[in-house]
Amino acid sequence: MTDRPLLLLDVDGPLNPYAAHLPRLHGYATHRLHPSNWLSRQTPGSRAHRRGLRVYLNPTHGARLTALPFELAWATTWMHEANEMIAPAIGLTTPLPVIEWPELFARDPDGLYWKTRPLLKWAKGRPFAWVDDMITDRDTAHITEHHDAASLLLRIHPRHGLRASDFTTLTRWAKSL
């Protein structure tokens, strides 16, 4: 553990701009991957099951992420498979810690995003930035109220993924601590 703040990374949306309208995103490579969570929701033997999930990944993101003044960790449904499938494709060479969700897509009684409460528990009071495409104002308010350390919740549009301005925002925030 370091003194640096955590950067909690979602895959789909920030790293994989799955909602992009262009068939070829500048700087991104298309991959066909078979994450177990996704496979479990496909019909065995179906075309989708055989071909795999189409994922757009930027091979320069790993270097850009490791250059940030953060301790990186996965906050994604890909869990440990992010280290196996996503990390090599974006240029991350060292496995990252993984938030292991107690239940994927669990319904929250207060309408929070299902990742919010487990993510707070995992952060253990440390400063963190969280990049995800599903963060809401309700999540931001909850974290502000229940987390004593600094936090930055950065909602990333799933059509665009992480952009240069997001890396700038993350750097400025971390350096302001």
In a domain, 44, yes or no: no
For residue range 22-76, list pLDDT tens digits in order. Answer: 667 889 999 999 998 888 888 888 888 888 889 999 999 999 999 999 999 999 9
In a domain, 42, yes or no: no
pLDDT at 1 over 70: no
Q: How many domains does the chain have?
A: 1
pLDDT at 113 over 80: yes
pLDDT (0 to 100) of residue 176: 96
The mean pLDDT value for 68-92 works out to 97
For residue range 119-143, list pLDDT tens digits in order. Answer: 999 999 999 999 999 999 999 999 9
Determine the structural domain holding residue 124 and report its residue range. 6-19+57-176
**Distance separating alpha carbons of residues 8 and 162, to the nearest angstrom:** 13
In a domain, 143, yes or no: yes
In a domain, 51, yes or no: no
| Residue from 13, 19, 36 nearest 113 by CA | 13
In a domain, 123, yes or no: yes
Q: Residue 67 belongs to a domain with what CATH number?
A: 3.40.50
In a domain, 48, yes or no: no
**Distance separating alpha carbons of residues 78 and 98, to the nearest angstrom:** 9
Q: 130: which strand partners?
A: 8, 153
Q: How much helix, strand and coil, in percent to the nearest 5, is found in the chain? A: 30, 20, 50
In a domain, 166, yes or no: yes
Report how far apart, in Å, the C-alpha atoms of 119 and of each of 10, 25, 67, 146, 158 are: 11, 30, 23, 12, 20
